[in-house]
Amino acid sequence: MAFELLMVTSEAWPLAKTGGLGDAVGGLAKALRSGGAGVTILMPAWRGTQDQLAGMHRVTELPGLPGGPAELYAGYCPALGCRVLLLRNDALYDRDSLYVTPEGDEYDDNAVRFAALSMAAAYVAQGLPGVTVPAVVHAHDWHAALASVYMHQFGVQDIKTILTLHNVAFQGVYPMMPAEQLGLYPEYLTADGLEYWGKLNFLKAGLLYSDCITVVSHNYAREILTPRFGCGLESVLAARIDKMVAIPNGIDTMLWNAGRDTYLHGKTFTADRLENKVACKTALQKAYGLDADRGAFLLAMGSRLTEQKMVDVALQALPQALDAMPKLQVCILGQGERRAERELVQLAQRYPGRCGVYIGYSEARAHRLHAGADALLHGSRFEPFGLTPLYAMRYGTIPIASRVGGMVDTIVDPGLVAETNRLYRATGILFDGEAAEDMRSAIERAVTLRQRPLVWRTMQRNAMLAPMGWEQSAPLYSQLYQSLRPDVAPIEAVGPRLQPREVRRNLQRRNGRGRAASSLDAVVPAGTSVA
Ligand code: ADP
């Protein structure tokens, strides 16, 4: 029997994306497909999603879902090379944006919208005419977390479930509602299931019912066991530690590739030939209305404009830095909290020619931002993995990032007082703290480092060449799937196929960096094939 995987998600680039979740799920699906695996993505039929699929056809109706009857459509995504099942209920999913109203408020029926997605996954696992039954259901984030709960209710036992935590801060917390509104038996709405402090908590229930929990970086896996990063779920996570494994995300190195990026209009470059990066910088300065000054230090910010991303701190630190450093320029791409958007626009007005802001979401602009900037400012109060700094690094743009989450694993910063020979290993700058002063002095440090051309140039090269593709991580997922279902022929992925012992060693090395192994190092639950 060939391995069949069902990935349940709200986002998968290029079908739908609002942040790193979409990139991670799309990237993993593509990497697994490259090995010939039977991968199917199940996601809502968001507005326009079906237009990106080939061979769309209606499979069946699902009458008993929360929010009313829905239809299941199937198609093929050429960009990802995998099958896609779309859950169609236009009243629930055919809206301007995925999660929030134009005013930025969460849709008030989000609980029902994502309960329906999870229940649809359970129907697929149970068996539907015309749909292949998966060996493993891999749910991503709170949107899909209830899949394992519905599967439990349906009595589906042989199909294993994985829940990947892309961000523990988003849990799907809603006021308690009658169980029948979610299509659940009342016993699932107790403290042993969805109930948490009198409310519904989708993520918590997924943690309790999934066979395995994966976390998108080793450092974040450790952090979420603490109150600061566990966001109230640290004790639930601690209780499930024997089911947890950290598998870092990868990035799509074909897409984020300075040497082939079509968004750069021919001005491509490589780690050894950076001439065209200067042309990209000039183009970026022009696009953001900045002075055409090659010698300026061009600092970019590109992210959701939220408290998580420390936009409040940036709003204080950037004017201080602009005042202190006359050669500093800033360009910002982002959207998010309305107040932050307004204040950033005002900041640009205060520093004409030195600060430019684009409020909005644009994939093309993100590529050009990373290509043209000297450095990327990426403050974060928490950062499960941190794709954006890696994208910047691929273009020789040095990340200046908070020392949290996955960025601790992916950015090499030998420290403030490192000797020169150690600096030659660096790929970026990490800073502690959440005060404007912390961020401003990190920017100053970058500006000072760039005055040492050999060090800066080496950092750029290191950053561009750092291994970060899915070929590191997709094989670890394949091994995990296999270990959960040793009765099914293995799923292949890009990258080398590791032997079980190598997987364990690999995970121990990454998890612990030399510390004694804990249960976090256990790649898979007991009774599986990884020795
Ligand atoms: P998070 O998932 O917390 O938002 P990540 O850095 O892991 O953070 O991933 C963010 C993803 O969203 C990246 O692909 C980044 O380029 C993209 N992104 C965020 N804001 C924008 C924007 N305004 N325009 C284009 N891409 C954006």
For the CA of 21, the nearest atom of ligand 1:
2
Write the burial class of residue 451 (CB in 10 Å: 0-12 exposed, 13-18 middle, 19+ buried): exposed
* Pocket-testing residue among 142, 288, 304, ligand 1, by greatest number of atoms within 8 A of Cβ: 304
Residue 180 CA to ligand 1 centre (angstroms): 36
Determine the residue type at 366: A
Q: Cβ(439)–Cβ(310) under 8 Å?
A: yes
Residue 47 CA to ligand 1 centre (angstroms): 20
* pLDDT of res. 351: 98
What predicted TM-score, i.e. pTM, was given to this entire model? Answer: 0.90
* pLDDT of res. 50: 94
Which segments of 346-386 are extended strands (E)? 355-359, 375-378
Segment 47-51 shows an average pLDDT of 95
112 Cβ inside 6 Å of ligand 1: no
* pLDDT of res. 515: 35
Q: Cβ(446)–Cβ(368) under 8 Å?
A: no
380 Cβ inside 6 Å of ligand 1: no
* pLDDT of res. 495: 55
Is the fold of 4-246 the same as that of 262-465? yes
304 Cβ inside 6 Å of ligand 1: yes
pLDDT tens track for 182-204: 999 999 999 999 999 999 999 99
Q: Has residue 116 got a pLDDT over 80? A: yes
* pLDDT of res. 489: 78
Determine the residue type at 346: Q
Q: How far is CA 466 from the centre of its chain?
A: 19
For the CA of 386, the nearest atom of ligand 1:
7
Residue 304 CA to ligand 1 centre (angstroms): 6
Across the chain, mean pLDDT equals 91
Q: What CATH number is given for 4-246 in this structure?
A: 3.40.50.2000
Residue 393 CA to ligand 1 centre (angstroms): 15
Residue 181 CA to ligand 1 centre (angstroms): 34
* pLDDT of res. 35: 63
* pLDDT of res. 418: 76
Q: Considering the chain, what percentage of its residues have pLDDT values greater than 90?
A: 86
Q: Has residue 263 got a pLDDT over 70? A: yes
Q: Has residue 524 got a pLDDT over 60? A: no
* pLDDT of res. 497: 46
Assigned fold of 262-465: Rossmann fold (3.40.50)
HSE at residue 286, side-chain half, CA atoms within 13 A, is 7
pLDDT-derived band at 386 (thresholds 50, 70, 90) equals very high
Determine the residue type at 302: G
How far, in Å, CA of 388 to CA of 132, rounded? 35
Q: How far is CA 183 from the centre of its chain?
A: 30
Q: Domain boundaries in the chain?
A: 4-246, 262-465
* pLDDT of res. 55: 96
**In angstroms, what is the C-alpha Rg of the chain?**
23
pLDDT tens track for 59-77: 999 999 999 999 999 999 9
* pLDDT of res. 26: 96
* pLDDT of res. 490: 73
- Long-range CB pairs of 286-289 (<8 Å, 24+ gap) are 287/331, 287/356, 287/358, 287/365, 287/368, 288/331, 288/356, 288/357, 288/358, 289/348, 289/352, 289/353, 289/356
* Pocket-testing residue among 97, 387, 390, ligand 1, by greatest number of atoms within 8 A of Cβ: 387
* pLDDT of res. 528: 32
Is there a cis peptide before residue 175, judged by omega within 30 degrees of 0? no
Helix (H) or strand (E) holding 438: helix 436-450
* pLDDT of res. 188: 97
* pLDDT of res. 421: 82
* pLDDT of res. 506: 44
Whole-number Cα distances in Å, 78 to 19, 47, 56, 348, 395: 21, 19, 12, 41, 27
Q: Cβ(414)–Cβ(340) under 8 Å?
A: no
**DSSP classification of residue 129:** T
Of 285-294, 300-309, 410-419, minimum mean pLDDT range: 410-419
Whole-number Cα distances in Å, 87 to 36, 49, 115, 363: 25, 11, 12, 26
How far, in Å, CA of 245 to CA of 524, rounded? 7
* pLDDT of res. 367: 98
- The SS3 of residue 367 is helix
Q: Has residue 170 got a pLDDT over 80? A: yes
412 vs 528, higher pLDDT = 412
Residue 495 CA to ligand 1 centre (angstroms): 26
Segment 206-232 shows an average pLDDT of 97
Both tokens of 172, joined, read 């799907």
How far, in Å, CA of 370 to CA of 392, rounded? 5
Residue 389 CA to ligand 1 centre (angstroms): 10
Q: Cβ(28)–Cβ(34) under 8 Å?
A: no
Q: Considering the chain, what percentage of its residues have pLDDT values greater than 70?
A: 92
Residue 14 CA to ligand 1 centre (angstroms): 13
Q: Cβ(436)–Cβ(320) under 8 Å?
A: yes
Determine the residue type at 218: H
pLDDT-derived band at 401 (thresholds 50, 70, 90) equals very high
* pLDDT of res. 34: 67
Q: Has residue 526 got a pLDDT over 70? A: no
pLDDT tens track for 461-519: 999 999 999 998 999 999 999 999 999 877 766 654 444 444 444 444 444 433 333 33
* Pocket-testing residue among 377, 388, 395, ligand 1, by greatest number of atoms within 8 A of Cβ: 388
Which residues, 6+ apart, have CB-to-CB distance to 470 below 8 Å?
A: 27, 28, 30, 31, 250, 251, 252, 253, 493, 494, 495
* Pocket-testing residue among 140, 303, 378, ligand 1, by greatest number of atoms within 8 A of Cβ: 303
For the CA of 360, the nearest atom of ligand 1:
23
23 Cβ inside 6 Å of ligand 1: yes
Angle, helix 311-324 to helix 436-450, in steps of 10 degrees: 50
